[in-house]
């Protein structure tokens, strides 16, 4: 792309320089005609007609002819705002001398006339055309890059949505069978602790299936009690992570009421907790805080794990990026989508340090 733009700019510059030289040649011819007229005194009619033709052929190049005392002898093709004002014409002549060296015509010994000239308006406008053209070409390439990148992301979004819905469908079939067998087991031993635990896991599988089925569609934010959503999620996760992890939840004493989707928000929290557990390798301190600040609901998940480098933190939410050997790199990217697109919020790494831990922060607008 850069080579194309540079090629156009260079080619246009060469063309402009060629046109400039042609205009200088026309001025030289005009000066030669003026000299000839001065030398001839009273030329015959044919020569007069030829001189007038040469002089009249210039319809674009601004020219001013002054004598040695700056008296105006002739002028042509000057800007309209100059008019016939002698002071303005002389000032313009001095300005022209900065662009091109004036041409002196000796009339008689000790007497001379000076020709001042400048680029034609067309040539002045063409000077900027290579840069304008290059700018538009650059904009075109940038737009094309953005357009194709957007299409690619859209296609990837449809692919992941289709994969998620198919996963939900595949989970649903054995899940229905498991629910049936669970009912039979409850008839045989309804008070069994194992039966109750399996029942919780089946309910969890049902929730996971619902999560996958909602990807690609706009979820309804029908749940309000945020404390309840977080508390239920905490209770489930606490019993299923290593006992060597000190897992604590800090909720405000009052209920936080904000529209949200309980299933998807639980998914986000679960992803953050599992990432924290993996970072601590099953041993450490994991804290979850929920509080309000400036009309926002904030959820922080803080661990004492391995922490992240700056590069890892920058890439953490990119699809496919994972620091785990067996990780798919989808959990955090999907969590970000749930928070940003469905709950009008944000999720980020608020603090991390290698060897000391990481803090994830979710921010959701209350109003």
pLDDT digit string, tens, across residues 306-359: 999 999 999 888 877 776 665 556 678 888 888 988 888 999 999 999 999 999
Query: 110 φ, ψ to 5°?
Result: 90, -5
Q: What is the pLDDT of residues 145-170, one digit of tens each?
A: 666 666 555 555 555 555 555 565 55
Average pLDDT over residues 69-82: 80
- Average pLDDT of the chain is 76
Which pTM value belongs to this model? 0.48
**115 or 57, which is more confident?**
115
Three-state SS annotation for the chain:
CHHHHHHHHHHHHHHHHHHHHHHHHHHHHHHHHHHHHHHHCCCCHHHHHHHHHHHHHCCCCCEEEEECCCCEEEEECCCCCCCCCHHHHHHHHHHHHHHCCCEEEEEECCEEEEEEECCCHHHHHHCCHHHHHHHHHHHHHHHHHHHHHHHHHHHHHHHHHHHHHHHHHHHHHHHHHHHHHHHHHHHHCCCCHHHHHHHHHHHHHHHHHHHHHHCCCCCCCCEEEHHHHHHHHHHHHHCCCCCCEEEEEECCCCCCEEEECHHHHHHHHHHHHHHHHHHHCCCEEEEEEEEEECCEEEEEEEECCCCCCHHHHHHCCCCCCCCCCCCCCCHHHHHHHHHHHHHCEEEEEEEEECCCEEEEEEEEECC
Q: What is the pLDDT of residue 112?
A: 78
Q: What is the pLDDT of residue 60?
A: 76
Q: What is the pLDDT of residues 175-229, one digit of tens each?
A: 666 666 666 666 666 676 666 777 777 776 776 666 666 655 666 788 889 999 9
**165 or 134, which is more confident?**
134
> What percentage of residues in the chain have a pLDDT greater than 90?
21
Decide if pLDDT at 57 tops 70.
no
Q: What is the pLDDT of residue 334?
A: 82
Q: What is the pLDDT of residue 85?
A: 83
Q: What is the pLDDT of residue 73?
A: 77
């Amino acid at each position: 792309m850069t080579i194309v733009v540079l090629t156009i700019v260079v080619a246009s510059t060469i063309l402009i320089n060629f046109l400039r030289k042609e205009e200088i040649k026309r001025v030289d011819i005009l000066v030669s005609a003026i000299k000839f007229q001065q030398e001839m005194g009273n030329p015959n009619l044919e020569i007069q007609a030829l001189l007038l033709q040469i002089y009249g052929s210039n319809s674009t190049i601004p020219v001013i002819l002054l004598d040695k005392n700056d008296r105006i002898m002739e002028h042509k093709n000057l800007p309209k705002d100059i008019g016939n004002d002698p002071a303005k014409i002389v000032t313009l002549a001095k300005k022209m001398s900065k662009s091109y060296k004036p041409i002196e015509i000796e009339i008689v010994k000790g007497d001379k006339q000076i020709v001042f000239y400048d680029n034609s308006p067309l040539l002045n406008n063409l000077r900027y055309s290579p840069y304008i053209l290059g700018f538009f070409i650059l904009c075109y390439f940038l737009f094309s890059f953005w357009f194709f990148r957007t299409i690619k992301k859209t296609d990837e979004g449809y692919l992941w949505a289709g994969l998620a819905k198919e996963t939900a469908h595949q989970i649903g079939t054995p899940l229905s069978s498991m629910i049936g067998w669970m009912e039979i087991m409850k008839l045989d031993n309804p008070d069994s602790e194992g039966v109750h635990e399996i029942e919780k896991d089946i309910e969890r599988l049902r929730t996971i299936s619902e999560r996958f089925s909602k990807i690609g569609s706009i979820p309804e934010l029908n749940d309000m009690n945020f404390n309840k959503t977080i508390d239920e999620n905490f209770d489930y996760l606490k019993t299923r992570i290593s006992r060597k992890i000190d897992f604590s939840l800090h909720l405000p004493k009052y209920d936080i009421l904000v529209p949200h989707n309980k299933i998807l928000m639980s998914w986000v929290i679960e992803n953050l907790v599992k990432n924290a557990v993996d970072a601590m390798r099953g041993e450490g301190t994991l804290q979850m805080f929920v509080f309000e600040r400036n009309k926002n609901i904030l959820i922080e998940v803080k661990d004492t794990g391995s922490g992240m480098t700056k590069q890892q933190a920058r890439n953490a939410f990119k699809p496919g990026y994972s620091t785990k050997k067996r990780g798919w790199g989808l959990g955090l990217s999907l969590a970000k989508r749930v928070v940003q697109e469905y709950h009008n919020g944000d999720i980020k790494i608020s603090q991390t340090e290698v060897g000391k831990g990481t803090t994830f922060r979710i921010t959701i607008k209350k109003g």
